[in-house]
Structure 1
């Protein structure tokens, strides 16, 4: 099964946060809060079996979540 686009939650230039598919120029959707954007991005990532990258205000990735089959599952 092919994997969907990874989703990125990033600060929006006009304030608030946005969810963007990897490589997309435009935001899929914008939100007032990061929590709303994360919830929306998580839903898309789960549906597409992709990854969700959450960026901080400086644009650095602060968290990454994999949905679907993880190529590097935790060893335990």
Structure 2
């Protein structure tokens, strides 16, 4: 079974990072950039995808730090 990815999101005015599927954040507070750094570090350590959500909840960016199942076509 694949490891869950990491997501950075805003909830009630607070930026948080959590493993997807968990209801509890492993890191909270600070700016969006600070939480992105926390989420990126965890995703690199776990070798999984990091999803960064915008303030409205839409996906702003996705970065893969592991075995990417969908690599860019120009990087083959």
The answer to whether the superposition gives a TM-score over 0.5 is yes
Whole-Å separation in 2 of the counterparts to 1:49 and 1:75: 21
What is the aligned counterpart of 2:18 among 7, 20, 26?
A: 20
SS in structure 1 opposite 2:35?
A: helix
How far apart are the structure 1 equivalents of 2:30 and 2:14? 4
Moved >4 Å (runs of 4+) = none
Q: Where does the alignment leave 5 or more consecutive residues of structure 2 unmatched?
A: none
RMSD, matched Cα:
1.3
Q: How many residues align?
A: 74
Per-residue deviation, residues 34-67 of structure 1 (Å, max 9, x unmatched): 0000001001111111111100111011110011
Does the 8 A contact of 1:9 with 1:19 survive in 2? yes
32-41 vs 2-11, which deviates more?
A: 2-11
What residue is the counterpart of 2:9 in the other structure? Answer: 10
Shift of 1:5: 1.8
Alignment of 1:1-76 (within 5 A): 3-13=2-12, 15-76=13-74
> Structure 1: any 5+ residue segments left out of the alignment?
none
